[in-house]
Structure 1
Amino acid sequence: MRKQRNRFDEDHEEHIDESWLIPYADILTLLLALFIVLFASSTVDKEKYQSIMESFKSELTGTKIESKESGLSVNPSNTKTDEQTGKVPPAKEAAPAPSKEEVELNNLKEKLENYVKNNGLNAVITLQDTKRGVEISLKDVILFDPGKAELKSSSFKTLNVLVGLAKTVDNPISIEGHTDNVPIKNASYASNWELSSARAVSVLHYFESKKLTKKRLQFVGYGEYKPIYPNDTNAHKQANRRVNIVILRKA
Structure 2
Amino acid sequence: MSKRRNRFEEEHEEHIDESWLIPYADILTLLLALFIVLFASSTVDKAKYESLMEAFKSELTGTKIESKDSGLSVKPSDKEINEQKEKEQPATAPEEAPDQSQEEIELNQLKEQLTKYINDNHLEAVISLQDTKRGVEISLKDVILFDPGNADLKASSFKTLDVLVGLSKTVTNPISIEGHTDNVPIKNSKYQSNWELSSARAVSVLHFFESKSIAKERLQFVGYGEYQPLFPNDTKEHKQANRRVNIVILRKG
Calculate the TM-score normalised by the size of structure 2: 0.76
Task: Show the 5 A alignment for 1:32-181.
Answer: 32-37=34-39, 39-40=40-41, 47-73=47-73, 95-181=97-183
Q: Distance in 2 between matches of 1:119 and 1:15?
A: 115
Instruction: Determine helix, strand or coil for the equivalent of 1:247.
Output: strand
CA apart distance, 1:155: 1.5
Task: Describe the shift of the 1:205–1:58 C-alpha distance in structure 2 as closer, same or farther (beyond 3 A).
Answer: same
- Please name the residue that 1:247 is paired with: 249
Instruction: Determine helix, strand or coil for the equivalent of 2:178.
Output: strand
Q: Distance in 1 between matches of 2:240 and 2:128?
A: 14
Q: Distance in 2 between matches of 1:55 and 1:66?
A: 11
Task: Show the 5 A alignment for 1:190-201.
Answer: 190-201=192-203
Task: Describe the shift of the 1:26–1:119 C-alpha distance in structure 2 as closer, same or farther (beyond 3 A).
Answer: closer
CA apart distance, 1:131: 2.4
For structure 2, list consecutive stretches of 5 or more residues without a partner in the other structure.
Answer: 1-6, 82-93
Aligned residues with identical type, % of pairs: 70
Q: Distance in 1 between matches of 2:246 and 2:164?
A: 12
Q: Which amino acid aligns with 2:57?
A: K
Contact 2:180 2:224 in 1 (8 A): yes
CA apart distance, 1:18: 9.1
Q: 1:226 aligns with which of 204, 225, 228?
A: 228
Number of residue equivalences: 233
Q: Distance in 2 between matches of 1:50 and 1:244?
A: 82
For structure 1, list consecutive stretches of 5 or more residues without a partner in the other structure.
Answer: 1-5, 80-91
Task: Describe the shift of the 1:68–1:23 C-alpha distance in structure 2 as closer, same or farther (beyond 3 A).
Answer: closer
Q: Distance in 1 between matches of 2:142 and 2:227?
A: 16
Q: Which amino acid aligns with 1:122?
A: E
Q: Distance in 1 between matches of 2:126 and 2:234?
A: 19
Q: Which amino acid aligns with 1:57?
A: K
Q: Distance in 1 between matches of 2:18 and 2:170?
A: 111
Q: Which amino acid aligns with 1:123?
A: A
CA apart distance, 1:64: 4.2
Q: Distance in 1 between matches of 2:191 and 2:50?
A: 96
Task: Describe the shift of the 1:77–1:28 C-alpha distance in structure 2 as closer, same or farther (beyond 3 A).
Answer: closer
Q: Distance in 1 between matches of 2:144 and 2:123?
A: 10
CA apart distance, 1:114: 2.5
- Please name the residue that 2:84 is paired with: none
Calculate the TM-score normalised by the size of structure 1: 0.76
Task: Describe the shift of the 1:49–1:221 C-alpha distance in structure 2 as closer, same or farther (beyond 3 A).
Answer: farther
